[in-house]
């Protein structure tokens, strides 16, 4: 549904995208991750036609991106681009007319989209009276008003409480059943783990890792991550090196990549003689892969 081929973009002497290529299949939810400045917003702006790439090509459906494909794309930006003094229904009706929908079709779509995001009962409520979660749902309704084939969700749940986030997650999952392709950017890695079929990780404008979560996991040589608290970190690291366990620090916590799933007693025996205050085990998560890539570790894609 979306194909980026060798996109490059510079701002002056600074490269922002460097030979970026990726493909989204119809009905796929694809997560695009990266630290600030990695090139995510530039990529979105090029897809939407707001920026021109220095080189490369964007294809949407079976056509080069341009005037003919603009109606195929819906966007939910990071900030709600809504008119606070207008009602929910009037906001969508205004956008519908900009999209070229007939008056009758526009009114039908307004009701359908408000119902799809559970806001039909708020149709006549000014946006400024809505909660933050409701405003994000209205922004999602605006993104799908014109029946797009590709929806871009840029940080859709940032700043929302867990209840509002889960409401939006449910709506995003519905896109897949509708055959709509979704490009999702987020700094919330648990969100990407839950929603996305495939994930790409950008760093300095390059796509350094891509695949399903299972595929990305396979590139970290560990069955589980073991995190310890110890008064003797040097001794624990030295023991881990003897065992062949790479060590990392996550949020100030010392962790080891353990290649086998061991019983807790066996794991403790391996660190016998080292003073351990606590020990915790977890599977390899997206956050571990993400940090390894964005910190400049081994390329995993």
Residues 257 and 121 in one domain: no
For 185-203, what is the mean pLDDT? 95
Domain encompassing residue 277: 221-283
Residue 298 has pLDDT above 70, yes or no: no
End of a domain among 216, 242, 269?
A: 216
Does some domain include residue 164?
A: yes
pLDDT at residue 232 in the model: 96
Residue 227 has pLDDT above 70, yes or no: yes
pTM to 2 decimal places: 0.91
Q: Give the tens place of pLDDT for each residue, 80-89.
A: 999 999 999 9
Of 183 and 158, more confident? 183
Residues 211 and 246 in one domain: no
End of a domain among 194, 216, 238?
A: 216
What phi, psi does 253 have (nearest 5°)? -95, 135
pLDDT at residue 297 in the model: 54
Residues 271 and 232 in one domain: yes
Does some domain include residue 200?
A: yes
What phi, psi does 14 have (nearest 5°)? -95, 120
Q: Give the tens place of pLDDT for each residue, 255-284.
A: 999 999 999 999 999 999 999 999 999 999
Q: Which two tokens stand for residue 217?
A: 């996991």
CA dist., res. 298 & res. 108, Å (int): 52
Residues 12 and 149 in one domain: yes
Residues 194 and 239 in one domain: no
pLDDT at residue 124 in the model: 98
Residues 56 and 93 in one domain: yes
Does some domain include residue 66?
A: yes
Residues 52 and 115 in one domain: yes
Residues 10 and 155 in one domain: yes
Residue 300 has pLDDT above 60, yes or no: no
Does some domain include residue 299?
A: no
CB 155 within 8 A of CB 187: yes
Residue 167 has pLDDT above 80, yes or no: yes
Q: What is the tally of structural domains in the chain?
A: 2
Number of other residues whose CB lies within 10 A of the CB of residue 281: 14
Does some domain include residue 122?
A: yes
Residues 261 and 158 in one domain: no
CATH number at 179 reads 3.40.50.300
Does some domain include residue 301?
A: no
Instruction: Output the average pLDDT for the chain.
Output: 94
Residue 231 has pLDDT above 60, yes or no: yes
CATH number at 230 reads 3.30.70
Residues 89 and 192 in one domain: yes
**CA gyration radius, the chain:** 23
Q: Give the tens place of pLDDT for each residue, 113-153.
A: 999 999 999 999 999 999 999 999 999 999 999 999 999 99
């Amino acid at each position: 549904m979306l194909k980026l081929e060798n996109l490059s973009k510079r701002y002056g002497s600074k490269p922002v995208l460097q030979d970026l290529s990726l493909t989204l299949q119809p009905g796929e939810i694809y997560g695009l991750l990266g630290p600030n400045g990695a090139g995510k917003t530039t990529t979105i702006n090029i897809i939407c036609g707001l920026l021109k790439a220095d080189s490369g090509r964007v294809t949407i459906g079976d056509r080069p991106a341009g005037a003919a494909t603009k109606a195929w794309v819906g966007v939910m930006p990071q900030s709600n681009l809504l008119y606070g003094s207008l009602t929910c229904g009037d906001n969508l009706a205004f956008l519908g007319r900009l999209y070229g929908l007939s008056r009758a079709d526009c009114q039908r779509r307004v009701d359908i989209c408000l119902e799809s995001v559970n806001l039909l009962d708020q149709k006549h409520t000014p946006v400024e009276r809505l909660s933050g979660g409701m405003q994000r749902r209205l922004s999602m309704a605006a993104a799908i008003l014109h029946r797009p084939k590709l929806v871009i969700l840029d940080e859709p749940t940032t700043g929302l409480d867990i209840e509002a986030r889960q409401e939006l997650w449910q709506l995003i999952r519905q896109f897949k059943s509708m055959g709509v392709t979704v490009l999702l950017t987020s700094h919330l890695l648990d969100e990407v783990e839950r929603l996305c079929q495939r994930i790409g990780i950008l760093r300095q404008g390059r796509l350094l890792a891509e695949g399903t979560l299972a595929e990305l996991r396979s590139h970290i040589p560990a069955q589980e991550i073991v995190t310890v608290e110890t008064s003797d970190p040097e001794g624990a690291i030295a023991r881990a090196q003897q065992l062949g366990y790479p060590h990392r620090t996550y949020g100030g916590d010392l962790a080891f990549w353990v290649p086998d799933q061991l019983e807790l007693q066996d794991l403790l025996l391996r660190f016998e003689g080292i003073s351990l205050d606590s020990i915790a085990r977890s599977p390899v998560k997206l956050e571990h892969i993400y940090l390894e890539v964005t910190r400049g570790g081994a390329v995993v894609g």
